[in-house]
Amino acid sequence: MNVKNIMTILVVGFLLTANMSCMKGDTFEEQIDQIKDFMARKNWKADTILSEGVYVVIDEEGSSEKPTIQSTVTVNYKGYYYDEEVFDEGQDLELNLTRVIKGWQLGIPQFGKGGKGKLLITSDKAYGEGNGIGIRPNAMLIFEIEVIDFK
């Protein structure tokens, strides 16, 4: 392989890498702006802002006792994107908070049993570059949550 071919490969590789880095999705700041815009459009007010990137809107607080990161919770939920396309929903889903996205680990303990509300989560506290089964890469996500029970 001559120098010209090597240089061509390097230039093409650089251009592909640069192009892909531009396609990574919205920056953290842009996602925070999306969250604020979405809440304004819906006339929602964040009751709590956790760990930069998790906004909690409490519709019903629920019981005074709250789950912890070690809890197994039963929830009803609906997850959707900024454009309001639903990507997942479930009823009576039982899961351990140590095995879910960081946004749920931080947000769900804000609700007691019977609590309802929304979690607006930046991609770094959600699925990042995607989960491989249909979640858009680097997407800010919104979840409507109802905590049915926890133990």
DSSP characters for 4-58? HHHHHHHHHHHHHHHHHHHTS---HHHHHHHHHHHHHHHT---SEEETTTEEEEE
Instruction: Please determine, for residue 23, whether its predicted confidence score (pLDDT) is greater than 90.
Output: no
Q: Name 116's bridge partners.
A: 60, 146
The pLDDT value recorded for residue 26 is 80
Higher pLDDT, 8 or 68: 68
Domain spans, the chain: 25-150
Matching CATH number, 25-150, of 3.20.20.140, 2.40.50.140, 3.40.470.10, 3.10.50.40: 3.10.50.40
Instruction: Please determine, for residue 6, whether its predicted confidence score (pLDDT) is greater than 50.
Output: no
Q: Are 82 and 140 in contact (CB under 8 A)?
A: yes
The pLDDT value recorded for residue 134 is 85
The pLDDT value recorded for residue 130 is 82
Mean pLDDT of the chain: 87
Least confident range from 54-58, 81-85, 134-138: namely 134-138
Per-residue pLDDT, averaged over 124-141, amounts to: 90
Instruction: Identify the CA nearest to 25 among candidates 150, 122, 133.
Output: 122
